[in-house]
Structure 1
């Protein structure tokens, strides 16, 4: 079963929708932020890289493995964040949530609201497929992501060992179960 593109998470003051090709200029601008670049793996420096990044998001939707949402400020319509559910194997009990927040939107509660909205949406959308747990992973040096996890109801579960070069530092695994 593939979730319809019309199904959208809901968050106070935010609009969540699948990414569109027209988001490329905003992505390029947002990815100029060094903090964002430090914690993301795919660079977006120009139109070509933005197109490749967007293609990953579009393919994820069509394959049913990655549901990425552009998070827009409801008042301005500006792109302020990204939130994504990574399913991996269809019908699996676990998935992973990922996100980033544009520098100008940090400190306004955007990430916790977007993560909470995606979490509620995912548990509802994939209940029949057995989704029971969503993990939130981050490096130990990303204190902001630890706060987002806590504010979004994701409990700390374990310390993860570094896996260089992709994950050079140890990490945290926070989780939320559908029953919680």
Structure 2
């Protein structure tokens, strides 16, 4: 049965080229993950705030290396895009930003991010999210980007709002964390906002 509309993005919209490195223009780079980033990813996931707001732990450098291999493959599969957020001069890992839950035909994806403890309060998540959003809308052609976070995570809410993601509502008891069910804020940005 044929569709009445054309897909917003077609297969190959991402994978037809290598995953790009995206400069923020103010000292950060979003770059593809490398195998040698595994120790830094493992170290980041030992932080109590990562444990508080994320549902996964990372128990070893080998596990982190497996995640990185999955993230690299996900670009080719066009299922998600994960970037290391690093200092442009030193290549020090400051965080991660990603598009997940990609639906090419609908032109929709979910934005996600985390930062390492020493880089918090420096605008890293906001700057990375802003750069990713521009790339997704202007260079690739996504129509809508969504962003979810626990309502109790006020820092993440500030990042979303500052990056232009409108709060569209609250999903009650939507995600199980180690400390119980969390209500989730649901933010979104549409191309042209």
* Deviations, residues 109-160 of structure 1 (Å, cap 9, x unaligned): 0000000000001112331xxx211011001110000000011111111111
Which residue of structure 1 aligns with residue 100 of structure 2?
A: 86
Q: 1:160 aligns with which of 171, 186, 189?
A: 171
The structure whose Rg is larger is: 2
Question: Counterparts in 2 of 1:47-58, with a 5 A limit?
Answer: 47-58=61-72
TM-score with structure 2 setting the length: 0.85
The answer on 1:96 being equivalent to 2:107 is no
Alignment match, 2:8: none
Q: CA deviation at 1:79?
A: 0.4
1:136 maps to which of 134, 147, 170: 147
> Do 1:44 and 1:53's aligned partners in 2 also have CA atoms closer than 8 Å?
no
Q: CA deviation at 1:58?
A: 1.5
Quote the Cα distance in structure 1 between the aligned partners of 2:87 and 2:145: 25
Contact 1:8–1:121 (8 Å) recurs in 2: no
| Structure 1, gaps ≥5 residues long | none
Q: Decide whether the 8 Å contact of 2:13 with 2:140 is kept in 1.
A: no
Q: Name the counterpart of 1:179.
A: 192
Unmatched 5+ residue regions in structure 2?
1-11
Matches of 1:170 and 1:38, distance apart in 2: 14
Provide the C-alpha distance between the structure 1 equivalents of 2:93 and 2:107, rounded to a whole number of angstroms. Answer: 31
Name whichever of 165-174 and 30-39 sits farther off: 165-174
Secondary structure of the equivalent of 2:106? coil
The number of residue pairs the alignment matches comes to 177
CA RMSD of superposed structures (Å) = 1.6
Q: 1:147 aligns with which of 158, 168, 183?
A: 158
Structure 1 stretches of 4+ with a deviation exceeding 6 A read none
Tell me the TM-score normalised to structure 1 length: 0.91
